[in-house]
Chains A and B, each alone.
Chain A
Amino acid sequence: GENVEQHPSTLSVQEGDSAVIKCTYSDSASNYFPWYKQELGKGPQLIIDIRSNVGEKKDQRIAVTLNKTAKHFSLHITETQPEDSAVYFCAATDQTGANNLFFGTGTRLTVIP
């Protein structure tokens, strides 16, 4: 199955700075890459996703980039705010067509006021 690696495992930034989280995947057939945000005591929530036919997608302060040749994708958060503090997960689909998602191990982001 798909193997997704995520770095770093923890990230601390000052409020207003940018944060970048990187993921790699193993299955070259993967074509969907969502990012989830998990706040304490809650389930993961989809914040942005990208499909393999585009290289970049932006939604206000968050953006995702995809490099299919290198098999890696990244989440960029600009002008970070304390409410951005959470655990972020990247994910990728497998090749079976069942729409199963395989997740990275998560990044705990702390935004320091």
Chain B
Amino acid sequence: NAGVTQTPKFQVLKTGQSMTLQCAQDMNHNSMYWYRQDPGMGLRLIYYSASEGTTDKGEVPNGYNVSRLNKREFSLRLESAAPSQTSVYFCASSSGRANYGYTFGSGTRLTVV
């Protein structure tokens, strides 16, 4: 099925551990995004990649790094996880043309203890 695939779906980390969240899309979209979702705060943009080979910071980039591996894949890395990074993480993609909606993945629920 066409869409955005995120792995893993669930993850528990200890404070200070590192991990990479994977995202892949098969819609030939140019732009990809990483959001975090916290109760009462909606979806906040962490990083985005407007096109293959470029990445930029969003609203809440501290503590994260990203890699646009190729047109299909966009990964999010936590180098040293903190309890404040407990959240649900969503990857999304879009054609990149102005005023077109996003397609979201099903999310990764991350708990940092």
Contacts and interface: CB of A to CB of B under 8 A. Distances in A.
In the A-B complex, list the 10 residue pairs whose CB atoms are closest, starting with the nearest.
A43-B104, A32-B99, A46-B101, A105-B42, A103-B43, A103-B42, A34-B101, A43-B106, A44-B104, A99-B98
Contacts of B4: 43
A71 to B, nearest CB: 17
A93 B31 CA distance: 14
Interface in B23-68: 31, 33, 35, 40-45, 48, 50, 56, 58-59
B59 A1 contact: yes
Contacts of A9: 40
Which size class do A's interface residues fall under? 20 to 34
Interface stretch (B14-22, B69-77, B89-97): B89-97
A96 to B, nearest CB: 9
Given A51-B99, A106-B42, A100 B104 contact: no
Contacts of B35: 103
Contact of A89 (B31, B43, B58, B98): B43
30 contacts: A6-B42, A9-B40, A31-B99, A32-B99, A34-B101, A41-B106, A43-B92, A44-B43, A44-B102, A45-B104, A46-B103, A49-B99, A51-B99, A89-B43, A93-B98, A93-B99, A97-B98, A98-B48, A98-B56, A99-B31, A99-B94, A99-B97, A100-B45, A101-B45, A101-B102, A102-B59, A103-B35, A103-B43, A103-B44, A105-B41
